[in-house]
Amino acid sequence: QVQLVESGGGLVQAGGSLRLSCAASESIFGIATVGWYRQAPGKQRELVAVITRSGSTNYANSVKGRFTISRDNAKNTNLQMNALKPEDTAVYYCNARTTVNEIWGQGTLVTVSS
């Protein structure tokens, strides 16, 4: 079973930056669509950014121009978050989806103070 481990979360002031990383236990990102999702307290989980096998990216309107998803290799994907806002506070999850499987990481907490 492939495992995903997120890292890079933490506490940052509004306007600051964080870089989240998602490491896979196997080389899956070359064949998977990888997404970063987030879930704020009391809210539903939402898609933040996605990168396809071909490298195409898409972003939620709320993070366009501030967040960038990238894939280093088949085992590492990142989410660069700039100009953070208090409303970006959430647990961020990495997701990898192939034609036969869908895998979630355990999440990493991002807290943006005003």
pLDDT score of 28: 84
pLDDT score of 82: 98
CA 28 vs. chain centroid, Å, equals: 16
- Please tell me the total number of residues recorded for the chain in this structure: 114
Q: Cα separations (Å) of 69 from 7, 42, 84?
A: 14, 25, 15
CA 112 vs. chain centroid, Å, equals: 16
Mean pLDDT per 10-residue run, the chain (114 residues)?
A: 95 98 91 95 96 95 98 93 98 94 96 97
pLDDT score of 30: 82
pLDDT score of 48: 98
Whole-angstrom Cα Rg for the chain: 13
Do 51 and 71 form a contact (C-beta atoms < 8 A)? Answer: yes
